[in-house]
Every structure is written in C-alpha cells, then in structure tokens.
Amino acid sequence: MTPRVPRPPAPQSERLPRTSTVRRRVLRSGGGAAQERTDVLATEEPLEIRVYPPDGGAAVQVAVTMRTPGHDFELAAGFLFTEGIIRDADAIRSISYCTDPSLDGAQQYNIVNVFPRSGAAFDLARATRHFYATSSCGVCGKASIDAIRLDGIASVADDDLAVDSGALGGLVEQLRAAQSLFAKTGGLHAAGLFDAAGRLVAAREDVGRHNAVDKIVGRALLGGGVPLRGHVLLVSGRASFEITQKAAAAGIPVLAAVSAASSLACDTADAFGMTLIGFVRGAQFSVYTGAGRIRFGGQR
C-alpha cells in the first residue's frame, strides 16, 4: 500500500520513546555450572527511510536498514548524503518520524520521513535504483570506484592534515571510552570523528558499522560541517569499500580501522587521495594508502 502523503511538519526534535538496549533472561554457563541471569542486549530494529517529493507526490521508500534506535534523523540524513541522493543539508526541509495513525505507536518510530526543500537538488531517481550489495557478482572494483566518481565525490589529496603516529592508539582509547552501549552489551560497532588535534568530536554506536558512520556524517551534515576536511574517522571494525566510500563522500582525508581493510577499500582510498590505516592496536598499525600524512618519530 502506498503511504499517504502527510503535510511537511515543522522541524521536529528526535524524541525517541525507544531504548537502545533491552534486558533478556539467559542461561549462563561457567566453571562447569549454569545459572540464570539477566543480560543486556543491543536493540536491533528496522528503520525505513521515506522521501516525500517537494511536489507532493507519493513517498519513495529509499532504504530499510537494521539499526540500533537513536540518532535516527542523523542516520537518515547521513545515508541520503553518502549515497549521493542529496548534495548538502540545504536539500532537506525537515525530518520527522512517521505519524500515520494506521501504524501502531512502536512502528511509527521505525519510519523516518524526509521532506526536501522546493527546488533542492534531490536525486530521487537514484533512490529507486539498487545500491551496491556486499560481495555482489557482476560489478568489478573499477566500475564501483568509477560509479562513485560520477556521484561527484571529490579527491582529498590536497588535504594537508598530518597525524602523529604515536597518537593513533590514543584515538582508539578515546573511542572505546565513549562506547557506553558497547560497555553494557558488547554487541555494537562504533565510529568516532576526531579533529586535527586528535580530540574526539563525536562518537556513534550501532549494530551496523555503516550505520554508525552514517550517523557521524549525518550529524556533521545537519550541523553544517560537511565536508569534513582535516578530520580522522575511526571505525571499530574493518574498513570495507562501503565505509571508505562514505568517508570519501564526507571529504574525510584519514580513515582508520581497528581491524583490516579490504582490497577494494584500499583501491578506493588510493583513488580519492585518502589515508587508510588498519589494525590500529596501541602503537601498532598498518598504513595501506596515503602514508605521507603520518608523522613518524616526531618528524615534522
């Protein structure tokens, strides 16, 4: 059934009556014995992103992603931006949760409506096309990189950000300290944005590592801070093509990951002049591309 067309609401704050964690009784085994206990789990629920054309047409379902509730408006805005559907924050008139009375109260908070400004550049045709599927057949790496070039993503090769090698381990420590939900559940990915001085600007957690990145980018976008030149993005898992593409779209010159990088992530970072770092564990890390931005041993 086609969703009804609501009137664009006034700007709405994100008052989410949902929790990012839930409690569940589990049987815990240890030391040859088992006992019941209450465990805290990360919430995983679908989020549908709908876009309503400025002319008042029917809603376009852009995406459904499994996410941890919280910062949903940032997630929607970040996704639309990193996937090339919008070019800047001015394209968005307002974002709201669905208020369709035919839905139960819980489901309303699993749907986000995005209303573009009249005349804004908004590629709804792209929204109806299929996005890349991880490890899909029939699309080569070069074609993937060429496709995001066509989306208007610019190289950051001229970004002169320099990162001290000894500070990278500290970024991981800062991000871990900010992962309050991970501390409770052990089941969430995280993304952290750092400024040129190595200070944590923002951290976001989610069951999906790509969602955590979209929340970071959406926060910056809605706050007028994109492109994110002179910043470092640190992700808790691996660096995939998708994560690297999103960082490139946001103009981030340095992407670091606690785990490994994929081959296509390396190719993408190289193509857009990014520094890509993996296996950041204290003072140890691997630089895949853009090593010129890393200062070793106090070099200037």
- Asked if 81 contacts 250 with a C-beta cutoff of 8 angstroms, the reply is yes
Q: Are strands 232-235 and 189-194 parallel, antiparallel or unpaired?
A: antiparallel
Is residue 140 among the annotated active site residues? no
Query: Catalytic residue among 98, 137, 140, 266, which?
Result: 137
Give the three-class secondary structure for 253: coil
What does the block give as tokens for 73? 């408006």
| C-beta separation of 204 from 216 below 8 A | yes
Within 8 A by CB and 6+ apart from 85, the residues are: 51, 62, 122, 123, 124, 126, 127
Strands 275-281 and 284-289: antiparallel
Q: Which amino acid is at 160?
A: D
User: SS3 of 86, please?
Assistant: strand
State the maximum Cα–Cα separation within the chain, in Å, rounded to a whole number.
Answer: 67
Residues with Cβ within 8 Å of 112's Cβ and at least 6 positions away in sequence, in order, are: 47, 48, 49, 50, 72, 73, 75, 76, 95, 96, 97, 98
**Dist CA 240 CA 176 (whole Å):** 20
Q: Is the peptide bond before 53 cis (omega within 30 degrees of 0)?
A: no
Cβ neighbors of 257 (< 8 A, separation 6 or more) are 234, 235, 236, 237, 238, 239, 243, 277, 278, 279, 280
Instruction: Write the single-letter amino acid at 9.
Output: P
Q: Catalytic residues, which ones?
A: 137
